[in-house]
Structure 1
Amino acid sequence: MTTAEFRLPDLGEGLTSAELVSWHVNVGERVSIDQVIADVETAKAQVELPSPYTGVVAELLAEPGATVPVGAPIIRIESTDPVGADASAPPVLVGYGPQTAHASRRRRKASPESAQHKQMARAMTASARAPQATVFVTSDVTASMELLETLSKSADFENCSVTPLTLAAKSLVTAIASHPGVNATWDETAERSVVHPHVNLGIAVASDSGLVVPNIKDADSLTLREIALRITELTSTARAGRTDVAHLTGGTITITNVGVFGVDGGVALLNPGEAAILALGSVNERPWVRGGQITIRQVVTLSLTFDHRALDGQQASQFLTLVASMLTDPAVLLAHL
Structure 2
Amino acid sequence: MTTHTASLREFKMPDVGEGLTEAEILTWYVKPGDTVTDGQVVCEVETAKAAVELPIPFTGVVEALHFPAGTTVDVGTSIIAVAVAGAAPAPVEAAPAAAVQAEPEPERREVLVGYGPRTGSVQRRARRTNGAAAAAAPAPVVAPVAPAAPVAPPVPTVAEGERPLAKPPVRKLAKDLGIDLRSVLATGPNGVITREDVHAAAATAAGSVVEPVVPVVEQPAVAPAAVPALPAPNAAGDVRVPVKGVRKATAQAMVASAFTAPHVTEFVQVDVTRTMKLVRKLKESGELGAGVRVSPLLLVAKALLTAVKRHPEINASWDEAAQEIVIRGAVNLGIAAATPRGLIVPNIKDAGSRTLSQLAVGLGELVETARQGKTSPADMSGGSITITNVGVFGVDTGTPILNPGEAAILAFGAVRDLPWVHKGKVVPRQVTTLALSFDHRLVDGELGSKVLADVAAILEYPKRLITWG
State which of 427, 432, 453 in structure 2 corresponds to 1:321. 453
Deviation at 1:336, TM superposition (A): 2.3
* Counterpart for residue 279 of structure 1: 411
1:219 corresponding residue in structure 2? 351
Is the 8 Å Cα contact of residues 201 and 251 (structure 1) preserved in structure 2? yes
Q: What is the aligned partner in structure 1 of residue 15 from structure 2?
A: 8
Per mean C-alpha deviation after superposition, the further-off stretch among 213-222 and 150-159 is: 150-159
What's the counterpart of residue 286 of structure 2? 155
Q: 1:147 to 1:188 in 2, by over 3 A?
A: same
**Cα shift at 1:323:** 1.0
How much does 1:48 deviate? 5.2
Distance in 2 (CA, whole Å) between partners of 1:6 and 1:119 is 19
Relative distance call for 1:275 and 1:281 in structure 2 (3 A) is same
C-alpha contact (below 8 Å) 1:49/1:244 kept by paired residues: no
Q: 1:49 to 1:275 in 2, by over 3 A?
A: farther
The 8 Å contact of residues 48 and 244 in structure 1, kept in 2 or not, is answered as no
The residue matched to 1:114 in structure 2 has which SS?
coil
The farther-off stretch of 64-73 and 124-133 is 64-73
Quote how far apart the aligned CAs of 1:246 are: 1.1
Partner of 1:265 in structure 2? Answer: 397
Match of 2:443 in 1: 311
TM-score (norm 2): 0.56
Counterpart of 2:276?
Answer: 145
Task: Find the counterpart in structure 2 of residue 330 from structure 1.
Answer: 462
Q: Is the 8 A contact 1:62 1:68 kept in 2?
A: no
Amino acid across the alignment from 2:269: T
Residue identity opposite 1:40 in structure 2:
V
The aligned counterpart of 1:122 is 252
Summarize the alignment of residues 66-145 of structure 1 with structure 2, pairs less than 5 Å apart. Answer: 66-69=71-74, 111-112=111-112, 113-115=241-243, 118-128=248-258, 129-145=260-276
Per-residue displacement from partner, 1:53-80 (whole Å, max 9, x unpaired)? Answer: xx978999976735333576889xxxxx
Deviation at 1:220, TM superposition (A): 0.9
Report the CA distance shift for 1:16/1:289 in structure 2 as closer, same or farther (over 3 A). Answer: farther
The 1:147–1:200 alpha-carbon spacing in structure 2 relative to 1, beyond 3 Å, is same
Q: Any idea what SS the aligned residue of 1:255 has?
A: strand
- Structure with greater strand share of residues: 1
Match of 1:229 in 2: 361
- The AA in structure 2 aligned to 1:261 is F
Q: Output the CA distance in 2 between the equivalents of 1:152 and 1:200.
A: 26
Please report how far the alpha carbon of residue 324 of structure 1 lies from its aligned counterpart in structure 2 after TM superposition: 1.0
Are the structure 2 counterparts of residues 198 and 72 from structure 1 closer, same or farther at C-alpha, using a change threshold of 3 Å?
A: farther
Are the structure 2 counterparts of residues 48 and 56 from structure 1 closer, same or farther at C-alpha, using a change threshold of 3 Å?
closer
Shift of 1:278: 0.5
Deviation at 1:247, TM superposition (A): 0.4
| Aligned counterparts of 1:240 and 1:248: Cα–Cα separation in 2 | 15
Unaligned 5+ residue runs, structure 2?
1-11, 81-95, 101-106, 113-240
Amino acid at match of 1:46: A
Q: Which runs of 5+ in 1 are unaligned?
A: 76-101
What is residue 201 of structure 1 aligned with on the other side?
333
* Aligned equivalent of 1:184, options 286, 304, 316: 316
**2:262, 2:439 within 8 Å by CA — same for their partners in 1?**
yes
**1:242 maps onto 2:374 in alignment:** yes
Distance in 2, Cα, partners of 1:283 & 1:186 = 33
Residue type at the aligned position of 2:415: V
Contact 2:66 2:99 in 1 (8 A): no
C-alpha change, 1:6 and 1:222, in structure 2 (3 Å) is: farther
- C-alpha change, 1:20 and 1:147, in structure 2 (3 Å) is same
Distance 2:67 2:55 in 1: 17
8 Å Cα contact 1:254-1:277 kept in structure 2: yes
How many residue pairs are counted as aligned between the two chains?
301
Distance 1:68 1:145, change over 3 A: same
Residue 139 of structure 1 aligns to a residue whose secondary structure is strand
Write the distance in 1 (CA, Å) between the matches of 2:346 and 2:411.
Answer: 16
Query: Identity of paired residues, percent?
Result: 48
**Structure 1 residue 36 displacement after superposition:** 8.7
CA 50–227 in structure 1, closer or farther in 2 if over 3 Å, else same: farther
2-structure distance, mates of 1:47, 1:196: 29
Kept in 2: contact 1:44–1:209 (CA 8 A): no
**Which deviates more from structure 2 when the two are superposed, residues 218-227 or residues 194-203?**
218-227
Which has the higher Rg, Structure 1 or Structure 2?
2
Tell me whether 1:47 sits opposite 2:52 in the alignment.
yes
1:18 aligns to 2:149 (yes or no) = no
Q: Is the 8 A contact 1:133 1:306 kept in 2?
A: yes
In the aligned structure 2, how far is the partner of 1:250 from the partner of 1:162?
26
